[in-house]
Amino acid sequence: MSQVRGISQWKSKEANKLEEVQHAQEAALAIVEREKQKCKAAVEVAYKAQRIAELESEKRKQAEMKFQKEAEEKQKVIDALAYSEIRYRRYTMDEIAVATNYFSSSEKVGEGGYGPVFKATLDHTPVAIKVLRPDISQGEKQFHREVTSLYPQILLIGILSCNFSTMDIVQVEVLSRMRHPHMVILLGACPEYGCLVYEYMQNGSLEDRLFCREGSRPLSWRIRFRIAAEIATALNFLHRTRPEPLVHRDLKPANILLDKNYVSKISDVGLCRLVPPSIADSVTQYHMTAAAGTFCYIDPEYQQTGMLGTKSDIYSLGVMLLQIITAKPAMGLTHYVETAIDTGRFAEILDPTVHDWPVNEALSFAKLALQCCELRRRDRPDLDSVILPELERLRDLGSQNNPDGRFDDKYSQSQTSKGNSPKAMSQVNENRFDHI
């Protein structure tokens, strides 16, 4: 019995040892499995990191290639200009002085942030001559000294010419070659004294026409819709220029000019590129600190960050579109229109000088304008894919109803009865460049 008991105890011990060995093996296998999972996870992380690095490297290469391509394109433009004949007409100071009657105040037709504007005739053509303001620390004394020595009869009150050593002559050439049906043409320049020569626009500014200044007759809704589409077309052209988009910076009704057929054109295009950034920024800062009416067109995001972009022009466009249908000042206009829409009084705020507004279409017009006036740039619609197609649709609606695009007879009759003869209207047109 003792032997049987001993064998039984031995078997029990051996079974316990075997069980311990099995547990040890299982634990070892579990450790191995965990290590395998860790290794697998590490491999996956390494692969992802490698993939991310490859993608980043590819992005950098593409960005470098894009930058190099844009730089090459820009250099090609500069080289082409450097080795080609100058396309814009270069005027002498003698020609400018004589054409403006030695900068006579009687020939002055406007004043803006970039400088005064004079009406003149050059090469038997009516033109508008803008005298660019200088950086006060650089060009003022030189201009006064040189011009007064040449032309003692000139009274240089309020005339400050830009020192053209600070002006980008290449940009003058570039802008003079830019052609669009709805941009005022830069005909030439006087490089020595910072004078730019533009085509003359007989019917003045959109601002004057919206507010019927000097007794001018109101624009029909058809013409207003057409003008809105024309402005958007020209702005889209500027924003799609390469290698860099061209931001206008100062879009407002006073800078939209009308020719003899009431075709609209954007003025002051590219002036921020003709002078150093410090001067261009000072002009924008002048608008921000000047009258509230001008301040209202400036992108709120630019006011906060100091960063300009194409969407900055979209904000200005939105405010201007609201003015086109209401003929009201820009101050508080977005809130005014939003409130009218929310309270069902939209039809009441439309310009009352127009008696046949298509209210539903005008409402679509207003809602689009309000989208353009969103405080955040990212919330504003795209010009090319959203704004322009809608404005063209509304323009086409007006064209279908009035193919000739003329003023309604009732406006012509009402204005004639008030004494606005052709002679009176011609006198009005002499003063159409205020705020340029």
What's the structural domain count of the chain? 2
Q: Report if residue 95 sits inside a domain.
A: yes
266 shares its domain with 154: no
Chain segment 100-117, per-residue pLDDT in tens = 998 888 888 877 667 789
Quick: pLDDT tens for 176-188: 778 899 999 989 8
Check whether residue 184 and residue 269 sit in a common domain: no
pLDDT for 87 equals: 67
The pLDDT of residue 109 is 86
Please indicate, yes or no, if residue 379 is contained in any of the structural domains: yes
Tell me whether residue 78 is in a domain.
no
Query: 167 and 247, same structural domain?
Result: no
Q: Do residues 277 and 406 both lie within one domain?
A: yes
Indicate if 365 and 288 belong to the same structural domain: yes
Range of the domain at 292: 206-429
| 80 falls within a domain | no
**Domain end (from 166, 199, 232):** 199
Is 250 in the active site? yes
Q: Do 181 and 217 sit in the same domain of this protein?
A: no
One domain, residues 394 and 366:
yes
User: At residue 423, does pLDDT exceed 70?
Assistant: no
CATH code where residue 322 lies:
1.10.510.10
The three state secondary structure string of the chain is CHHHHHHHHHHHHHHHHHHHHHHHHHHHHHHHHHHHHHHHHHHHHHHHHHHHHHHHHHHHHHHHHHHHHHHHHHHHHHHHHHCCCCCCEECCHHHHHHHCCCCCHHHEEEEECCEEEEEEEECCEEEEEEECCCCCCCCHHHHHHHHHHHCCCCCCCCCCCCCHHHCCHHHHHHHHHCCCCCECCEEEEECCCCEEEEECCCCCEHHHHHCCHHHCCCCCHHHHHHHHHHHHHHHHHHHCCCCCCCCCCCCCHHHEEECCCCCEEECCCCHHHHCCHHHHHHHHHHHHHCCHHHHCCCCHHHHHHCCCCHHHHHHHHHHHHHHHHHCCCCCCHHHHHHHHHHCCCHHHHCCCCCCCCCHHHHHHHHHHHHHHCCCCHHHCCCHHHHHHHHHHHHHHHHHHHCCCCCCCHHHHHHHHHCCCCHHHHHHHHCCCCCCC
Tell me whether residue 69 is in a domain: no
93 and 152 within one domain = yes
Catalytic position from the list 208, 250, 351, 408: 250
- Whole-number mean pLDDT of the chain? 79
Task: Choose the final residue of a domain: 199, 230, 262.
Answer: 199
Tell whether 143 and 236 lie within a shared domain. Answer: no
Least confident of 64-73, 87-96, 280-289, 388-397: 280-289
Of 354 and 147, the structure prediction assigns the larger pLDDT to 354
Q: Answer yes or no: is 23 within a domain.
A: no
Same domain? For 303 and 364 the reply is yes
Q: Are residues 325 and 407 located together in one domain of the fold? A: yes
The answer to whether residue 179 sits within a structural domain is yes
Give the model's pLDDT for residue 315: 97
Claim to verify: residue 134 and residue 270 sit in the same structural domain: no
The answer to whether residue 321 sits within a structural domain is yes
**The domain spanning residue 178 has which CATH number?**
3.30.200.20
